[in-house]
Amino acid sequence: MINLKDLTTLSIIGFLVISLLILFIGSQSLIAFFLTLLELLILAYSINIITGLTGYVDFGHAVFYGIGAYTTAFLIVNINTTSVTPYLFSLIGGLVAAFFALLIGAPVLRLKGAYFAIATLSVSEAVKVIVSNISALGGSYGIPLARYVSYDVVSAYLAMWLTLLFTIVLAIWISNSKFGYGLRAIKEDEIAANVMGINTSLYKLMAYVLSALVAGVVGGISGILYVYVSTEYFKVDISVKMLVSMMLGGQGTILGPLIGAILYYVIQYTLVTSYPFLHLLIFGTILIIIVLFIPEGLVGIIKRRFKQLKLR
């Protein structure tokens, strides 16, 4: 009898293997399809750390994605190296995003629930407006990278895949560690967790910083992939996309972001090709359905099915 843990392990290994193979045997369009999917997956796992596990709903997570992208682009433009792969800069992008999370995390994480969501949204939007007013960062036009980097799907794909691998390993490690336990307790009841010996302020901040690190790195990779970085990277659409993907799959689980992002991406892909101007409507409807009817996401439904099967 298969259980949830086995299903999770199987799905993850299966997906990682398949997605790697796609690079070698897939068609151009299939590779492009998976490339965007990989990006969404990493972002879903990223927000899972602060929102899914810790329970702090981050409405402005795209800010880290954008900071990673801008840092990487800025470095590429200003540091002339042909010997080093530009993807190294995306790692620095991740570190800068993490640092930013460290700075704003302390005050912002003191807010609870809805106020935290509004605050993170405000941060994200404020940064977007501020960046578009800084000429050194390209102002409202952004930073084109065509002169410095060539469009290379293969290396971008590998970079994404490796980042996803690292992110999943990180998710598994957190899940089984004392740290992960603490985060779950914080999500369930923060005051009780505090009184039980958990340093809630520190743990929350660590979760925030880690999630920012991941988002920043993938932002950098995307910047290189698309050969262009602009304030579009800060758009609330991106924040919502990863949030909804994670929630759809199942918050705080390891399988959740995987199936949530895949399902979300497939829905968006098929519907947007048929109805190109309705993607906001789709996001919105899915979000409402999830919140009202399936708050634990698909994994929650799967768990319930397993329980039913077990009782028989």
Partner 1 sequence: MILEAKGIIKRFGGIVALNKVDVSVAEDEILGIIGPNGSGKTTFFNVISGVYKPDEGSVIFMGKNITGRPPHIIAKMGIARTFQVVRPFPSMTVRENILIGAYFSGKHKSSSYIDILVDKILKLTELSSKADLPAKALNLPEKRRLEIARALALEPKLLLLDETLAGLTPAEIDHALEMIKKAKSEMGLTIIIVEHIMRAIMKISDRIIVFSNGIKIAEGTPSQVASDIKVIEAYLGKPIQGEG
Partner 2 sequence: MVIDIVFLQTLVNGLLQGSIYGLVALGLTLIWGVMRVINLAHGEFIILGAYTAFWMFTLYSLQPLISLLIGIPLGFLIGIVIYVGLVKRVVNGPELSSLLVFFGLSMILQNLMLTYWTADVRGLPILYASINIGSITIVGDRLMASVIAIILSTFLLILLKYTYFGRSIRAVVQDTDAAMLMGVNVNYIYAMSMSIGIILTFLGGILIALTTPFTPYQGGIYTLYSFLIVVLGGLGNPLGSLFGGLLIGIIESYTATYWSSGISPAVAFLLLLLVLIIKPEGIFSRRR
Residues that bind partner 2 (CB under 8 A): 57, 59, 107-108, 110-111, 113-115, 117-119, 122-123, 125-126, 129-130, 132-133, 236, 240, 277-281, 283-288, 291-292, 295
Residue nearer to partner 1 on the CB measure, 178 or 305? 178
Q: Choose the binding region for partner 1 from 6-14, 32-40, 177-185, 267-275 (rule: CB under 8 A).
A: 177-185
Residue nearer to partner 1 on the CB measure, 85 or 199? 199
Q: How far is the CB of 122 from partner 1 (least distance, A)?
A: 28
d(CA 46, CA 170): 10
Q: Is 200 in the site for partner 1 (CB under 8 A)?
A: yes
- Residues 236-265 binding partner 1 (CB under 8 A) are none
- Which option in partner 2, partner 1, none does residue 184 bind, with CB closer than 5 to 8 A by kind? partner 1
Residue nearer to partner 1 on the CB measure, 112 or 178? 178
Q: How far is the CB of 201 from partner 1 (least distance, A)?
A: 8
- Which option in partner 1, partner 2, none does residue 108 bind, with CB closer than 5 to 8 A by kind? partner 2
Q: Is 193 in the site for partner 1 (CB under 8 A)?
A: yes
- Which option in partner 1, partner 2, none does residue 196 bind, with CB closer than 5 to 8 A by kind? partner 1
Q: Is 144 helix (H, G, I), strand (E, B) or coil?
A: strand
d(CA 31, CA 160): 12
Q: Is 301 in the site for partner 1 (CB under 8 A)?
A: no
How many other β-carbons are positioned within 10 Å of the β-carbon of residue 102? 14
Residue nearer to partner 1 on the CB measure, 125 or 190? 190
Q: How far is the CB of 59 from partner 2 (least distance, A)?
A: 8
CB burial string 72-98: b at 16+ within 10 A, e below: bbbbbbeeeeeeeebbebbbbbbbbbb
Q: Is 68 helix (H, G, I), strand (E, B) or coil?
A: helix
Residue nearer to partner 2 on the CB measure, 145 or 183? 183
> Residue 55 carries which DSSP code?
-
Helix axes 113-132, 236-249, angle to 10 degrees: 140
- Which option in partner 1, partner 2, none does residue 114 bind, with CB closer than 5 to 8 A by kind? partner 2
Residue nearer to partner 1 on the CB measure, 189 or 237? 189
Bridge partners (DSSP) listed for residue 144: 228
Q: Is 5 in the site for partner 1 (CB under 8 A)?
A: no
Q: Is 229 helix (H, G, I), strand (E, B) or coil?
A: strand
> Residue 137 carries which DSSP code?
G
d(CA 34, CA 281): 24
Q: Is 131 in the site for partner 1 (CB under 8 A)?
A: no
Closest CA to 120 of 47, 16, 210: 47
**Considering only residues 11, 36, 132, 194, which one is a binding residue for partner 1 as defined by CB under 8 A?**
194
List Cα–Cα distances, 259 to 4, 8, 223, in angstroms: 13, 10, 25
Residue nearer to partner 2 on the CB measure, 165 or 187? 187
d(CA 297, CA 249): 5
- Residue labelled with tokens 């005051």: 191
How many other β-carbons are positioned within 10 Å of the β-carbon of residue 288? 10
Bridge partners (DSSP) listed for residue 312: none
Residues that bind partner 1 (CB under 8 A): 178, 181-182, 184-185, 188-189, 191-201
